Amino acid sequence: MQDVKEPLYQQLITHVLKKIELTEKEQEHLSSLLTVRKLLPRQYLVQQGDVCNYESFVCKGFLRSFYVDDNGEDHTLHFAMEDWWITDSTSFILRVPATRNIIAIESSLLVQISKSNLDQLYNDIPSFERFWRILNQNACMAQDQRILNSISMTGAERYHALIEKYPTLEQRMPQKYIASYLGITPVFLSQIRKSKSAGKLKK
């Protein structure tokens, strides 16, 4: 496992160095606080009702975050691919039961950090708080844009904007989950994909 860990840790460190500077010693310290998790397809990273214990960085693979309502309906909330982070933030920070499930769609390799180790990292490497602030700011802006799109665009327009932004998404996430993420039905999504232009269909 040690042979597997080192390149994965380096992948995360390269990701971090795009936003903040770390000395060699700080990089080594960061690596000492990390663990590796391997998931098979359809294996859960987090289950609704459990406490989410880690922030997880995706080195390889694809994961989906979803909520199951009281009627058993499945609602896709987020997805994550290589060089993305995924977690249930409220559960992770407040140590309360998770409100969502996170599951691997593909075989996945993750680098994880626990809440206690992340707090330790903030104390030991203060600049890491800036890194996390940048991540959270980017996540907030993306969420704001998604909310705006949901009220200002048709379902077809939201689909085309999503695929333009993430061209490989259709090859990695089943159509029914993409439809759920967009808040439309799989049947309507199928119609959108078959249409020659988004303007021919209105939700």
Residue 164 lies in a domain: no
Residue 180 lies in a domain: no
Residue 21 lies in a domain: yes
**What pLDDT, in 10s, does the model give residues 110-131?**
999 999 999 999 999 999 999 9
Residue 109 lies in a domain: yes
Residue 184 lies in a domain: no
146: left (phi over 0), alpha (psi -120 to 50) or beta: alpha
Residue 99 lies in a domain: yes
Alpha-helical segments (H) within the chain: 2-17, 24-32, 89-94, 115-124, 127-152, 155-165, 169-172, 175-182, 186-194
Q: For residue 83, give the CATH number of its domain.
A: 2.60.120.10
Residue 90 lies in a domain: yes
User: What range defines the domain where residue 66 resides?
Assistant: 2-123
- What pTM did the predictor assign? 0.90
Residue 132 lies in a domain: no
**What pLDDT, in 10s, does the model give residues 3-58?**
678 999 999 999 999 999 999 999 999 999 999 999 999 999 999 999 999 999 99
Number of domain units in the chain: 1
